[in-house]
């Protein structure tokens, strides 16, 4: 696999082949880009050859002939050759532009398709993946790593192939023209190969350091901006700034190391080119007379060869300046693609093989000997069995960590159970089509998440099928319309990121409207009044009464006063059911629920 081994990236052809599979729908453009690479390689030695022909066959011929009429004829030929050279230069420029455009277009198109696939896969991952994988990691995979794959096309494999073809074409031309002069000119070439190798290794390590430093920098900034209130509340600005400065310094040092490698390599290339040119001139100067004596014709054409070889050396060294850099870019793209494919290959996805898709359900809920663990063998729910009749309100109570939230997560198929069965209307939740199942279940969570955007967008979740009139009607139904209209802009008020411009109670009330609009048969309220003030609690309680009317409801609450009217109260402790019954029955039993009640209302000690 492509990965890191002592800071070195290993090349993997199978991984590269998989990346190029995403270019398969655009094979016409891919073929054109390869054709452009071949044409650019073929064109490369043509201009040096034309210069050689011009000097040897016409310039020297005109000088030696001395005849005015002949010279004028030769001048015309030279003018036409010059025009041909300009035409070839323009043609090469056009080909190079089209080649660069095609490779960049391929890269960006593949990036678009990959990003869509990765995000679609993230949407299908089990919730447990988000419990164990940092958000920043998935963000990096979806944005930064996929963007790096673009470089495989725009600055990676295809451009490398084009440069290699160009080098091969120039070398073939040089050996064809004069193999001795070619060997002399390339005598310093091994030093360039050695310098290229060390440059590639140095930049490779620097790139890895830079990417790691960028990841650390992004994670630190994201985390601390999100938690800025805590940083400032505990006067930790200076301490956190020192941490940031250390991470930022590492980022700078990593970049400086890469810059140093470039600063050394490019002058080395120029020196090797100059040495090659000097060797060529030296050899020609010292051997020209001998060649002329042995073969006068060969001696005369040596000048043209030197001019063409000078151009060939520049054409040869120009791609060599960047080919090592492009290879590093290709390798970094390979590393990024490996990370992206790990997300795409993740098998821990939500199973959607169910086909049952009712328009409505009655709302009967059955848990039969359900056991569940987030981590293997560490069960948070143990052999749970209970039933909720259609239209009933069941309350789940217990200490923090007793398994209340886990129950509602399983009902919504956010996780998969290890043992037992969960049924709605006597049909296993696994047999429902996932979208149909979740359409029947409305959820109001304790920590309401609001997206950056208007109140209307957050209520409808940008569903175009829900009109503003429907939203207003739902808001009026639970007495929220007047509150929303008091906001600047009313339903168009921007709630900012995570709903930061609204109080917790206000965010909670907006989530009630959201749940009501989707008209679910089953309603889940998770700690709906646990962290709000008394006034907001009264508003929320009135909203709850209207929401649960005629619906099967599961209510989780620490405040036992909010669940007195429940049809059944299920008392949980460490993933097991301790008691079940109505409020009066459980108080009369004087068991676990009675102790919770005593703690809250007689000793005024909040439940942990």
The DSSP string of 60-118 is HHHHHH--HHHHHHHHHHHHHHHHHHHHHHHHHHHHHHHHHHHHHHHHHHHHHHHHHHH
Cα 227 to Cα 309, 449, 497, 532: the distances in Å are 64, 16, 13, 21
**Do 77 and 58 touch, CB atoms closer than 8 A?**
yes
Residue 65, pLDDT score: 47
Residue 367, pLDDT score: 92
Q: Among candidates 516, 439, 511, 507, which has minimal Cα distance to 474?
A: 516
Residue 145, pLDDT score: 76
CATH 1.20.1560.10 domain position(s) in the chain: 13-344
Give the model confidence (pLDDT) of 284-343 as tens digits. Answer: 767 665 655 555 555 556 677 777 778 888 888 777 777 777 777 777 777 778 778 888
308: exposed, middle or buried (Cβ count in 10 Å: 0-12, 13-18, 19+):
buried
Q: Which CATH architecture has domain 13-344?
A: Up-down Bundle (1.20)
In 537-587, the DSSP E strands lie at: 552-556, 568-573, 576-581
Distance between CA 503 and CA 75 in Å, rounded?
A: 86
Give the model confidence (pLDDT) of 226-245 as tens digits. Answer: 677 777 777 778 888 888 88
State the pairing for strand pair 522-526/427-428: unpaired
Residue 561, pLDDT score: 59
Residue 288, pLDDT score: 60
Q: Among candidates 320, 290, 283, which has minimal Cα distance to 305?
A: 283
Structure tokens that stand for 562 in this block: 């909010």
Angle between helices 296-344 and 68-124 in degrees, nearest 10: 10
Half-sphere exposure of 567 (CA within 13 A, CB side): 15
Count of beta carbons in the 10 Å neighbourhood of residue 353: 8
Q: Say which DSSP state 10 is in.
A: P
Residue 601, pLDDT score: 58
State the pTM of this model: 0.66
Residue 600, pLDDT score: 63
Distance between CA 380 and CA 382 in Å, rounded?
A: 7
Angle subtended at Cα 216 by Cα 212 and Cα 221, rounded to the nearest 5 degrees: 150
365-601: CATH superfamily: P-loop containing nucleotide triphosphate hydrolases (3.40.50.300)
Structure tokens that stand for 551 in this block: 């619906």
CATH 3.40.50.300 domain position(s) in the chain: 365-601
Residue 81, pLDDT score: 76
CA dihedral 478, 481, 482, 487 (to 10 degrees): 130
Distance between CA 410 and CA 429 in Å, rounded?
A: 9
Residue 69, pLDDT score: 40
Residue 606, pLDDT score: 44
- The low-confidence residues of the chain, meaning pLDDT below 50, are 1-10, 63-72, 603-608
Residue 366, pLDDT score: 92
> What's the chain's Rg over C-alpha atoms?
37
Instruction: Give backbone dihedrals phi and psi of 329, rounded to 5 degrees, phi first.
Output: -60, -40
Distance between CA 210 and CA 199 in Å, rounded?
A: 16
Residue 408, pLDDT score: 84
């Amino acid at each position: 696999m492509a990965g890191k081994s002592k800071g070195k990236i290993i090349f993997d052809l199978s991984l590269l082949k998989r990346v190029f599979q995403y270019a398969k729908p655009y094979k016409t453009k891919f073929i054109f880009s390869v054709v452009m690479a071949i044409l650019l390689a073929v064109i490369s030695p043509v201009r040096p050859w034309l210069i050689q022909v011009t000097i040897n066959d016409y310039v020297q011929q005109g000088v030696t002939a001395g005849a005015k009429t002949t010279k004028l004829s030769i001048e015309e030929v030279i003018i036409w050759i010059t025009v041909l050279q300009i035409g070839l230069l323009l043609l090469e420029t056009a080909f190079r532009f089209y080649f660069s455009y095609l490779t960049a277009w391929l890269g960006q198109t593949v990036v678009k398709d990959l990003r869509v696939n990765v995000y679609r896969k993230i949407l299908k991952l089990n919730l447990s993946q988000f419990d164990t994988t940092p958000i920043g990691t998935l963000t990096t995979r979806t944005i930064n790593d996929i963007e790096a794959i673009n470089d495989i096309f725009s600055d990676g494999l295809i451009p490398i192939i084009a440069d290699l073809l160009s080098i091969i074409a120039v070398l073939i031309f040089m050996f064809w023209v004069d193999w001795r002069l070619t060997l002399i000119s390339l005598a310093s070439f091994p030093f360039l190969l050695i310098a290229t190798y060390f440059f590639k290794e140095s930049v490779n390590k620097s790139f890895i350091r830079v990417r790691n430093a960028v990841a650390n920098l992004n994670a630190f900034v994201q985390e601390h901006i999100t938690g800025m209130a805590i940083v400032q509340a505990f006067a930790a600005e200076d301490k956190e700034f020192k941490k940031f400065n250390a991470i930022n310094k590492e980022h700078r040092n990593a970049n400086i190391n890469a810059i140093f490698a470039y600063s050394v390599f490019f002058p080395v290339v120029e020196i090797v080119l100059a040495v090659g040119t000097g060797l060529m001139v030296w050899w020609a100067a010292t051997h020209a007379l001998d060649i002329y004596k042995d073969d006068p014709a060969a001696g005369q054409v040596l000048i043209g060869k030197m001019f063409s070889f000078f151009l060939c050396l520049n054409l040869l060294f120009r791609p060599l300046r960047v080919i090592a850099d492009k290879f590093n870019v290709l390798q970094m793209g390979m590393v990024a693609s490996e990370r992206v494919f790990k997300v795409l290959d993740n098998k821990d996805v939500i199973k959607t093989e169910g086909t049952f898709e009712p328009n409505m359900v009655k709302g009967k809920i059955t848990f039969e000997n359900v056991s569940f663990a987030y981590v293997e063998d560490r069960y948070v729910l143990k052999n749970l069995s209970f039933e909720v009749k259609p239209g009933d309100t069941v309350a789940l109570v217990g200490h923090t960590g007793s398994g209340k939230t886990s129950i509602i997560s399983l009902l919504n198929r956010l996780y998969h159970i290890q043992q037992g069965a969960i049924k709605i209307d006597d049909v296993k939740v696994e047999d429902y089509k996932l979208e149909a199942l979740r359409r029947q279940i409305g959820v109001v969570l304790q920590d309401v998440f609001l997206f950056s955007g208007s109140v209307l967008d957050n209520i409808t979740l940008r569903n175009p099928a829900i009109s503003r009139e429907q939203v207003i009607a739902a808001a009026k139904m639970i007495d929220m319309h007047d509150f929303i209209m008091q906001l600047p802009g009313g339903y168009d008020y921007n709630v900012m990121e995570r709903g930061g411009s609204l109080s917790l109670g206000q965010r909670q009330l907006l989530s009630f409207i959201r749940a009501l609009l989707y008209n679910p048969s089953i309603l889940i309220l998770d700690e709906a009044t646990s962290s709000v003030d008394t006034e907001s609690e009264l508003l929320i309680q009135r909203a709850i009464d209207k929401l649960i009317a005629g619906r099967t409801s599961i209510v989780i609450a620490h405040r036992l006063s909010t669940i007195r009217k429940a049809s059944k109260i299920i008392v949980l402790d460490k993933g097991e059911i301790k008691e079940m019954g109505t409020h009066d029955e459980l108080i009369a039993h004087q068991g676990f629920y009675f102790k919770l009640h005593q703690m809250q209302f007689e000793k005024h000690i909040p439940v942990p």
